[in-house]
Chain A
């Protein structure tokens, strides 16, 4: 070989993002399945977090409300808190298993495409990056949608309980809402990344000849 390979060259991220978005669009059925499972798990998570947040906000701000809250909602929450932690954990674990499974199938379906990428000069790193970018998109969409849904349900569920004492502005405390959203998105992102790790490494490590043998 006359020229030696330039090790500094790597695939531009913008191109990777473009391919990732195209892939998500084309495989929209599987994409939406993964996204929906994320939305459901995250919305439950957000619902609980938001509920606790509202109650804390209420207890902080008003004695009358604290009295009410500790007797009704607050008590409710403290009593079932360990159960809720358990529920959150379970729902997130199930979601994780679902994502890993869906990603594994999605990656298996794409072995030949991955083999082709490698024939054209892709490094293992490109394959991993592509799958991680796709997963981050799922994670962001699932996390924010799920977060919104959970917050909405939590507010609707708690409004009648705290009743007239709580003004809408207090329940809709921007601090609590934004914290819940941020935490939801972060949890969603880490969950989806954890789920894609194994399939992505599996796909990236595969010899191109093996990947190309797979039927589409």
Chain B
């Protein structure tokens, strides 16, 4: 990587404390992290180590208790509701372990939804939606509901949806967690392909060693702190 690469995500001393009655749960305890454009990052760690909490904070789905988060050099804490919605819509594509497709809508409707939120015209988003579904190999399933699709197919739809507004970051929380080995591999290959072709930064929480193998960096967290960061060349 050249010294010129920009940082798409920067975290400064990010802490997150959950309060449950009298209990204080320190889910994140001072995370510092810089992620460059186009990087493929895996975040590993045991259950409860804070991966999902970190995912939510990088994705502007939750606010840190302390510290700062910059997405494309913008301090997320300074954004109002409109700007946050805009950021989520345009800058970040989300992929979840449980796919989180809108059950009542067809695959195509799911993929086009972010573009509708972005204010695109119907002709434009229908065409792009079909193109994206073709890209993930589901053109013939465009009119199917999520319940009529397999887990792997649902996750492909979710990937197409995440790419809808050409985000600079794809955030994935255990994207292969609910899939069998082979289907998981296909999903990983798809994500890797998009990250290389489209220069999308992929940040993924995972337990999957196949995922780790394609990563540029692997960040291990434990008890809300970064335990170590491994560059690909050392893996």
Partner of B117, one of A11, A26, A115, A209: A11
Flag if A207 contacts B82 (CB, 8 Å).
Answer: no
Question: Known pairs A121-B117, A212-B96. 19 more at Cβ < 8 A?
Answer: A6-B86, A11-B117, A19-B104, A26-B104, A116-B102, A117-B102, A119-B88, A119-B94, A119-B100, A120-B88, A121-B85, A121-B88, A121-B114, A121-B165, A122-B85, A122-B117, A123-B82, A124-B81, A208-B88
Is B124 an interface position by the 8 A CB rule?
no
Flag if B118 contacts A116 (CB, 8 Å).
Answer: no
Is B103 an interface position by the 8 A CB rule?
yes
A182–B91 alpha-carbon span in the complex (Å) = 48
Size bin of chain A's contact surface: 20 to 34
Flag if B74 contacts A1 (CB, 8 Å).
Answer: yes
Flag if A120 contacts B119 (CB, 8 Å).
Answer: no
Flag if B61 contacts A121 (CB, 8 Å).
Answer: no
Is B105 an interface position by the 8 A CB rule?
yes
Interface of chain A: mostly helix, strand, loop or mixed: helix
Is A66 an interface position by the 8 A CB rule?
no
Partner of B161, one of A112, A118, A120: A120
Is B227 an interface position by the 8 A CB rule?
no
Kindly identify, within residues 50 to 68 of chain B, every residue whose CB is under 8 Å from any CB belonging to chain A: 56, 59, 61-63
Residues of B within 8 A of A208 (CB): 56, 61-62, 88
Is A179 an interface position by the 8 A CB rule?
no
Name B's A-contacting residues (CB within 8 A). 56, 59, 61-63, 72, 74, 81-83, 85-91, 94, 96, 98, 100-105, 113-114, 116-119, 161, 165
Residues of B within 8 A of A19 (CB): 102, 104-105
A177–B127 alpha-carbon span in the complex (Å) = 50
Residue of A with least CB distance to B92 = A119
Flag if A118 contacts B85 (CB, 8 Å).
Answer: yes
Residue of B with least CB distance to A12 = B116
A216–B62 alpha-carbon span in the complex (Å) = 20
A188–B170 alpha-carbon span in the complex (Å) = 45
Residues of B within 8 A of A6 (CB): 86, 119
A28–B90 alpha-carbon span in the complex (Å) = 34
Say yes or no: A212-B61 contact (C-beta < 8 A), given A9-B119, A118-B88, A119-B88: yes
Q: List 27 A-B contacts (CB under 8 A).
A: A1-B74, A1-B87, A1-B91, A5-B85, A5-B86, A6-B86, A9-B118, A12-B116, A19-B102, A25-B104, A26-B104, A112-B98, A116-B101, A116-B102, A118-B61, A119-B61, A119-B94, A120-B94, A120-B117, A121-B85, A121-B88, A121-B118, A123-B82, A123-B85, A207-B61, A208-B88, A209-B56
Is A22 an interface position by the 8 A CB rule?
yes
Residues of A within 8 A of B56 (CB): 208-209, 212
Task: Identify which of A118, A119, A120 gathers the most chain B CB atoms within 10 Å of its CB.
Answer: A120
